[in-house]
Chain A
Amino acid sequence: NAGVTQTPKFQVLKTGQSMTLQCAQDMNHEYMSWYRQDPGMGLRLIHYSVGAGITDQGEVPNGYNVSRSTTEDFPLRLLSAAPSQTSVYFCASSVSGEGTDTQYFGPGTRLTVL
């Protein structure tokens, strides 16, 4: 199993550009989520999904959209990039959303917005 994969690994955007961060898992996990990690901050939840067709907002959803058309994929879309969105983005998956399951994280996408 590849586990959780993310693309791209690095990205530089200009303010106002849009882009999609890709996330895929091959473990048949129902629960997937997106976090951002900023220096001096803990990981913060952006959006999550408890299964195909179901998504919900986390702690910091503004400026981001998600969709979950399949169990495997959970892309994160930046609508109009802003410098405040410069961060490291981690996708994670787990068997369920009960919170007691191990979270498996992807390798991260390092995004810089100029």
Chain B
Amino acid sequence: RKEVEQDPGPFNVPEGATVAFNCTYSNSASQSFFWYRQDCRKEPKLLMSVYSSGNEDGRFTAQLNRASQYISLLIRDSKLSDSATYLCVVMWYGGSQGNLIFGKGTKLSVKP
């Protein structure tokens, strides 16, 4: 099975802190990369795609290192509402289909 590995955490940080998560993947043929956010007892929702050049969306920055096969997510100025589990997702092509492999998630808890 193609693997996606994440530190499960929890990461407990104060409001305003900067926190970073890493994710490693085993399949060098992986083509697309994503971060999803999952609130407690809710469904996953796309946070952002991860591009080779790196990308930023407000307080969130995602980076991809293909040579080392890892993806990172940086959250600046953490808010209470950022508390959630962050899922690293990797896509590789098998046959004609894209296959999504989900990591187990990294739990973030932002405290007042």
Interface residues of A (CB under 8 A from B): 35, 40-45, 48, 50, 56, 59, 90, 97-100, 102-103, 105-108
Contact = CB atoms under 8 A, between A and B. Distances in A.
Contact of B87 (A42, A50, A106): A42
B97 A99 contact: yes
Interface of B: 1, 4, 8, 31-32, 36, 41-46, 49, 87, 91-93, 96-105
A42 B104 contact: yes
| Interface of A, helix, strand, loop or mixed by DSSP | loop
B-side binding surface: helix, strand, loop or mixed? strand
A100 B1 contact: no
Contact of B97 (A41, A97, A108): A97
Given A50-B97, A99-B91, A108 B43 contact: yes
Contact of A99 (B1, B32, B36): B32
